[in-house]
Amino acid sequence: MIHAVDPAQQALLAHAIAAQLSDDDSDRGQRATLSRREFLRSSSAAGLVLGFACLPACGALATSPVDRPGPPVHAPFTPNAFVRVAPDNIVTIVCKHLEMGQGNTTGLATLAADELDADWLLVRTEYAPSAPKIYNNVFYGEMQITGGSTSIANSFMQMRSAGATARAMLVAAAADAWHVPAAEIKTENSVLTHASGKRATYGEMAAAAGRLPVPKDVALKQPQHFTLIGKQNATPRVDSLSKCNGSAIYTIDVKLPGLLTAVIAFPPSFGAKVISFDSAEAMRVPGVTDVVQVPEGVAVVGTGTWAALKGRRALKVSWDESTSASLNSDAVLTQYRAQAQRPGTPFAKPADNMPAPATVAQTIEALYEFPFLAHAAMEPMNCVAWLRDGLLETWSGHQFTSLDHTLAARAANLPMDKVRLHTLVSGGSFGRRANFVSDYTVAAVNIAVAIKGRAPVRLQFMREDDTGAGMYRPMYVHAVKAGLDASGNLAGWQHTIVGQSIFAGTVLGSYTIKDGVDAMSVEGVSPSQYAIPQMRGDLHSPALPVPPLWWRSVGNSHSAFVMETMMDELAAAAGKDPVAFRLALFAKSEKGERAAGVLKLVAEKAGWGAPRHMGVAQGIAVHECFGTFVAQLAEVSMPGGKVKVHRVVCGVDCGVPVNPDVIRAQMEGGIGFALSALYYGEIEIKAGRAVQRNFDRYKALRINEMPKVEVHIVASNHAPTGVGEPGVPPLAPAVANALARLGIPRARRLPLVRAGLVAG
């Protein structure tokens, strides 16, 4: 995802956002140009908590290893925005990121709790309010946002510092109380002890600690002293129980007095506009309270979801589809194929100091075609908005908190400080819940405004609304021509990519678009983990009326397939082992050591070269995604002519591992998610609308199709990088490479179901 911005650019970024929002859609106006910066550590977040008290109506925001419902306890000891300790010895960690399943709540709590020496069973978590000065993603300037697999990476030092600071103050308080040197006090499992026999729980010492000044720059633990970080079985997920007994509250579950539910009659084709609507019959449906037009469509509001749905069925809307009903994804593909044959905007060319090109003895050319993909998270998009007395509150799985806040305030015509966002756990996201128009948030607020804040209202997308709404991983075409010299070494690479830019025309457009190239469109190709001689790349970024969006692993979701299958084809043409071929390229590249490390680990653990069963082929792939290196080996056979993936062995180098079991789970999940897309994922667009609108046709991988997954985590001292997305990119090429070894002609247009290779 997007890279870090240094403090000097933060004001420019804020200005850019403001400037974008004040511009007409058609006038992009002046944009601040922001260049990328390296990752920065945050200053420790000392100071008052600008948290908002949890309203009793909020529902269970706190999650815990042991369920503890009830109102939040006033905590006298709140040394920073991330940690507080209550007299009852409960430690509450405030998490600034969205939990969409990736386990970052557990991770953020682990970081603080380890430095704090807290008893894991006495740790609770809650989600931060919108306050980007305090809760920003440290990599992205003053923006509160979850994405790019950066939650743990950007918080690593910050959360540890928060915990260490709290511990230091508890120790100082105990030293005062016991008249002993601080250095002699031990802390373990939320208890302070001294050799003299003195003992106190953190809860007992909290009030005294709360009266002390907050120190700066408290020393952090050396890794050999970690008790939770990196330890297997030390930190069970904090949200497991509530998600197993039905008590976890998602946006769809929020209860508020007088809550209404709204569904929207959305445009039937991308870009269609309302001409008129007749609400008479809809209003006669018992339970329907309002039918209101909003910019997103026509909303039907009722006392419950069923009433609203019946009302929407009875609603008559006349749509202007004069400019929207012609979009056809097959036609787009034809156009993209043609564009791929023409030069575009350059994104890579050989450096001036590169050695002279070797003579190309063999060339491989290939064209790859990737479909639109929907995210299809299990909880369709939704948001609750309550507008009253000049105050707006929202409840949702807010992923792009800062933008949601800004756009919600604008939609309600309120100042920012009159808008409060409550972030709940969400039923998945895969990137969908963060976008440049805060679609579900703004729509909910628009409805609240339209009913004049008469009651809180939940806007709920039904599955068909969600799948048909756009915000897709765009369609892409890659045209590659790669050359080998007479010794079978890679000698050149020509690469053209065609596909929508995710960032173009958005509030963050200038962030990743440089010299006409959206970095998200080419990531995984350029920069590459390989040292590719004579690499030339160019990009076409056509615009379509279908809104594009990042989809788990973003550009890597298609680039890894291209790179890692082409590498295998080149190795085969060179008569070389695919692993050895890659290792030779890694020997010369900057990232090569870690990529090679994870590749060799997987090759060893999986027994590369000696498949375990007849008729089962191995395929391998390795890809760096957002700083994390993942290699996967897939064992594949074709019983009855249909693909079966038996096992995937996965190696991951994500720097210092924080929660090994969460890392494993994210690799398992990323593999299943990727396999689902490889087999089935496709949104076709005909007559301007999505053909696949529910799980009957936008099919998802099911349990009987899930391979066994074994994960090996590289022991590393590098700064931690994320795992939410990096498990996705290598899977498809690994499976494709195995299929090639089985003699199946390479399918270069995904999904595989198109080639008749999937049982279904």
Partner 1 sequence: MTVAHAWLAVIILTGAAASLARADDLRSPESFSAIGDQADRSRSLFVEAGRVLQHPRCLNCHPAGGRPSQGEDQHPHTPLVVRGLDDKGATALPCVTCHQAENFAPSGVPGRPLWQMAPREMAWQGKSLAQICEQIKDRRRNGAKTLTQIHEHLAHDTLVGWAWAPGGNREPAPGTQAQLGALIAAWIETGAACPIR
Partner 2 sequence: MSITLNVNGTRREFHGDPDTPLLWVIREELGLTGTKYGCGIAQCGACTVHVDSVPLRSCSAPVAAMTGRAIITIEGLASRVAKAVQRAWVDLDVVQCGYCQSGQIMSAVALLEKKLKVSDEDIDHALAGNICRCATYQRIRAAIHLASERLASKEGA
For residue 332 the two structure tokens come to 């787009």
144 binds partner 2 (CB under 8 A): no
The helix-helix angle for 578-586 and 592-606 (nearest 10°) equals 160
250 binds partner 2 (CB under 8 A): yes
Stretch that binds partner 2, among 49-57, 98-106, 174-182, 594-602 (CB under 8 A): 98-106
- Given a contact cutoff of 8 angstroms between Cβ atoms, the answer to whether 627 and 153 are in contact is yes
41 binds partner 2 (CB under 8 A): no
HSE (CB half, 13 Å, CA atoms) of 615? 9
Q: CA-CA distance, 395 to 578, in Å (whole number)?
A: 50
25 binds partner 1 (CB under 8 A): no
Nearer to partner 2, 28 or 697 (CB): 697
Nearer to partner 1, 375 or 699 (CB): 699
- Binding-site size for partner 1 (CB under 8 A) equals 8
696 binds partner 1 (CB under 8 A): yes
Residue 679: CB minimum distance to partner 1, A: 12
Residues 6 or more apart whose Cβ sits within 8 Å of residue 374: 466, 467, 472, 681, 683, 690, 692, 698
Nearer to partner 1, 515 or 696 (CB): 696
Question: Which of 249, 504, 691, 755 is close enough to bind partner 2 by CB under 8 A?
Answer: 249
In 32-150, alpha helices (H): 104-116, 132-135
Residue among 120, 108, 117, 126 nearest 202 (CA): 117
426 binds partner 2 (CB under 8 A): yes
Per-residue binder mask for partner 1 (CB under 8 A), 256-295, x = binder: ----------------------------------------
304 binds partner 1 (CB under 8 A): no
Nearer to partner 1, 355 or 760 (CB): 760
694 binds partner 2 (CB under 8 A): yes
Q: Between β-strands 273-278 and 316-320, what pairing exists: parallel, antiparallel or unpaired?
A: antiparallel
In 540-631, alpha helices (H): 556-574, 578-586, 592-606
For residue 672 the two structure tokens come to 């299943």
- Spell out a b/e string for 223-254, using b for 16 or more CB atoms within 10 Å of the CB, else e: eeebbbbbbeebbebbbebbeeeeebbbbbbb
- Binding-site size for partner 2 (CB under 8 A) equals 64
Question: Which of 181, 704, 715, 717 is close enough to bind partner 1 by CB under 8 A?
Answer: 704
Stretch that binds partner 1, among 8-16, 57-65, 647-655, 698-706 (CB under 8 A): 698-706
Residue 753: CB minimum distance to partner 1, A: 11
> If you write DSSP's letter for every residue of 494-514 in order, what string do you get?
EEEEEE--SSTTSTTHHHHEE
Residue 276: CB minimum distance to partner 2, A: 28
Nearer to partner 1, 268 or 542 (CB): 268
Residue position matching structure tokens 């498990």: 727
Choose among partner 1, partner 2, none what residue 89 binds, the Cβ cut-off being 5 to 8 Å by kind: none
- Given a contact cutoff of 8 angstroms between Cβ atoms, the answer to whether 293 and 275 are in contact is no
Residue 704: CB minimum distance to partner 1, A: 6
For residue 108 the two structure tokens come to 């953020």
Question: Which of 555, 597, 672, 722 is close enough to bind partner 2 by CB under 8 A?
Answer: 672
140 binds partner 2 (CB under 8 A): no
Amino acid at 47: G
Choose among partner 1, partner 2, none what residue 760 binds, the Cβ cut-off being 5 to 8 Å by kind: partner 1
For residue 12 the two structure tokens come to 């420019």
Nearer to partner 2, 286 or 756 (CB): 286
Query: Which residues in 369-388 contact partner 2 (CB under 8 A)?
Result: 376-380
Residue among 248, 205, 206, 190 nearest 77 (CA): 206
Choose among partner 2, partner 1, none what residue 204 binds, the Cβ cut-off being 5 to 8 Å by kind: none
Residue position matching structure tokens 């594949």: 636
- Given a contact cutoff of 8 angstroms between Cβ atoms, the answer to whether 127 and 114 are in contact is no
759 binds partner 1 (CB under 8 A): yes
Query: Residue 473 gets which letter from DSSP?
Result: B
Q: CA-CA distance, 139 to 153, in Å (whole number)?
A: 9
Q: CA-CA distance, 407 to 411, in Å (whole number)?
A: 6
Query: Which residues in 567-626 contact partner 1 (CB under 8 A)?
Result: none
Choose among partner 1, partner 2, none what residue 676 binds, the Cβ cut-off being 5 to 8 Å by kind: partner 2
- Given a contact cutoff of 8 angstroms between Cβ atoms, the answer to whether 36 and 47 are in contact is no
Q: CA-CA distance, 221 to 507, in Å (whole number)?
A: 40
Choose among partner 1, partner 2, none what residue 379 binds, the Cβ cut-off being 5 to 8 Å by kind: partner 2
> Residues in the site for partner 1, rule: CB under 8 A?
309, 695-696, 699, 702, 704, 759-760
> Residues in the site for partner 2, rule: CB under 8 A?
99-103, 236-237, 239-250, 252-253, 255, 261, 286-287, 304-306, 310, 376-380, 425-430, 462-463, 661-662, 665, 668-673, 675-676, 694-696, 700-704, 706, 708-709
